[in-house]
Structure 1
Amino acid sequence: MTKRKITGPKPVIFFLLKLTVIMFFIAPFYISIVYAVKSPEETIKTGLAFPTGIYWENFTEAVRVSNFFSAAKNSVIVTAACVLILMVVCTMAAYVIARNLKSRLYSGMYYFFLAAIMLPFQVVMMPLYVQLKNMGLLNTRIGLILTISGFQTAYNIFVYVGFIRTIPVEMEEAAYIDGAGKFYTFWKIVFPLMKPIISSTLVLNALTVWNDFTTSLIIAQRPEVRTIPLTQYFFFGEYNIELNMAFAAFVMAMIPIIILYLLMQKYIIGGVMAGAVKG
């Protein structure tokens, strides 16, 4: 018997839904690129229509006006340092917590980090500013790195603990029998097995730090320590708005993070889902 092909409105509806979702996600990129490559005059006349040519002056002027490369250097340093700190510190802390969750001490620490995830930044904004000022860390890269890393720690530990609990303990016990210590066992056995979740959180942490605006606005007030998100201020004045240059700077800013995402995208969904299996 041959199967009859199902026909009807459902395939058409599903196709239209998929097309709507695709357009919803593509639209911001299209708008950004169109405004970035148009001249102000063409933008006024044609709006979101496809550009007739590329107006490269938007990019050169955006770099000059906002001191873009200095901000890009600060963003790279802060992002790389935060990602490295979170990867090393949080994996080790999560390993200890995951293997000792039956203890009241470590169980309490675990739930403390869970509670910290729900803590709004606005609650600690003023005390944080005063503390950093008293410690001499205001308007410094170190202060920005420590602050952003601190706010990302709770989420990273939560995800890492869930993933580590899926790793069989017997593998570590075999290493202990062979005379390996805890430090060696973690870095040589457990850490390599965490590659999917580490790759996933690496991209998510890099994306969060690279696009951070609120924390940077409070801590990095001097021009020499400003990051890329703060450069958008240069294009929005009290009496005029340089919309095309703002989008040009935005397009340049998102290129590195898009490249990182494309290189490691296969790990993101699988890694986060694996870390959420047990918690």
Structure 2
Amino acid sequence: MSSNKHRSKKVILIISILLAIIFLAPFYLVLTNSFKTQQGIFLNVMRLPFGDFFNPQNYIEAFKQLNYIRSFLNSLFITVFSTIIIIIFSSMAAWMLVRTKTKLSTFLFFLFTSAMLIPFQSVMLPLVNIMGRLGLLNPIGLIFMYLGFGSSLSIILYHGFVKNIPIELEEAATIDGCSPIQIFLYIIFPLLKPITVTVSILNVMWIWNDFLLPQLVINKPQWHTIPLKMFYFFGQYSRRWDLALAGLVISMIPIITFYFIVQKHIIKGITQGSIK
């Protein structure tokens, strides 16, 4: 029995190593070739960037051509404010849906749940048409749209967490003279910290990496986010793979860094929300 378990562990380890190699291979190709000259990429894609083929100037040139600082600040502004607004509205909505025991609250919750089944592509053209008539084809309108598309999942996560918060805490606060806003701000919202971290992470990674919605909404170069800038950058430098790959690496650095810092909170928060 022990030999079978030992053999199965070896098989699992080998499979895990093979899968890791498969998933990491694209990152290896992008990273190594981003340091090569154009000639070095064409001669040998797999080779490490040594000797005459090593060219770190790719990053300096890509940084300038991407207008990286401006693009980074645009992405940061849209991501941070969209996430904050989603957290505020979703947490308050989930709290009221849990505490209000009516048929309307049940209907609204299932309405938010069913909204996740609607493909974005089926509503994007009418949505952009309406936002254009309202004069909201700009970062502010984009933040407003992210609130609409990101609220469903966030409300579901908050809804499962709020259920386990004892209602007696709110009743005691009401007796002490707290208003509903005070109860939410000083009692409920601090208890939602674990799931708020998870909601923040999921929305930050989604909004930061999103390309389709900014492409439809943002029509001025000075408002371009990093994914949108990379799209036009690849179009402009499609034949300069050395610059294009270097631009791709520096565009991935912020979100990869963010992910490694907060990855431990993702599964923890989702698990707590499902148990609650």
How does the TM-score come out when normalised to structure 1? 0.90
Range moving further from structure 2, 66-75 or 204-213 = 66-75
Q: More helix by proportion, 1 or 2? A: 2
Q: How does 1:79-158 map to 2 (within 5 A)?
A: 79-100=79-100, 102-138=101-137, 140-158=138-156
Cα distance change on mapping 1:238 and 1:191 into 2, 3 Å: closer
Query: Letter of the aligned partner of 1:271 in structure 2?
Result: G
Structure 2: distance between partners of 1:193 and 1:43: 53
Partner residue of 1:224? 222
Query: SS of the residue aligned with 1:276?
Result: helix
Partner residue of 1:61? 61
Structure 2: distance between partners of 1:130 and 1:5: 65
User: In structure 1, which of residues 39, 42, 49 is the aligned counterpart of residue 40 of structure 2?
Assistant: 42
User: In structure 2, which of residues 15, 22, 28 is the aligned counterpart of residue 17 of structure 1?
Assistant: 15
Query: Letter of the aligned partner of 1:93 in structure 2?
Result: A
Cα distance change on mapping 1:24 and 1:274 into 2, 3 Å: farther
Structure 1: distance between partners of 2:187 and 2:23: 39
Shift, 1:238, TM fit? 8.2
Aligned length: 273
Structure 2: distance between partners of 1:129 and 1:147: 10
Shift, 1:24, TM fit? 3.7
Offset from partner CA, 1:115-166 (integer Å, 9 cap, x none): 111111111111111111111111x111111112221111111111111112
Aligned 8 A contact 2:29 2:45 in 1: no
Partner residue of 2:263? 265
Cα distance change on mapping 1:165 and 1:25 into 2, 3 Å: farther
Structure 1: distance between partners of 2:263 and 2:25: 20
Structure 1: distance between partners of 2:198 and 2:80: 15
Cα distance change on mapping 1:93 and 1:178 into 2, 3 Å: same
Offset from partner CA, 1:43-99 (integer Å, 9 cap, x none): 112202322265222212212323222221111110111111111111111111121
Structure 1: distance between partners of 2:110 and 2:74: 34
Query: SS of the residue aligned with 1:188?
Result: helix
Structure 2: gaps spanning 5 or more residues: none
Structure 2: distance between partners of 1:24 and 1:182: 53
Structure 2: distance between partners of 1:238 and 1:263: 33
Structure 2: distance between partners of 1:207 and 1:119: 21
Query: Letter of the aligned partner of 1:98 in structure 2?
Result: V
How high is the sequence identity, in percent, across the aligned residues? Answer: 34
How does the TM-score come out when normalised to structure 2? 0.91
Query: Letter of the aligned partner of 1:260 in structure 2?
Result: F
Query: Letter of the aligned partner of 2:196 in structure 1?
Result: I
Structure 2: distance between partners of 1:191 and 1:262: 26
Structure 1: distance between partners of 2:147 and 2:245: 28
Shift, 1:199, TM fit? 0.7
Query: Letter of the aligned partner of 2:42 in structure 1?
Result: I
Query: Letter of the aligned partner of 1:88 in structure 2?
Result: I
Query: Letter of the aligned partner of 1:143 in structure 2?
Result: G
Query: SS of the residue aligned with 1:118?
Result: coil
Query: What is the alpha-carbon root mean square deviation over aligned residues?
Result: 2.1
Aligned 8 A contact 1:220 1:226 in 2: yes
Aligned 8 A contact 1:78 1:141 in 2: yes
Shift, 1:23, TM fit? 2.5
Query: SS of the residue aligned with 1:137?
Result: coil
Aligned 8 A contact 1:65 1:234 in 2: no
Shift, 1:176, TM fit? 2.5
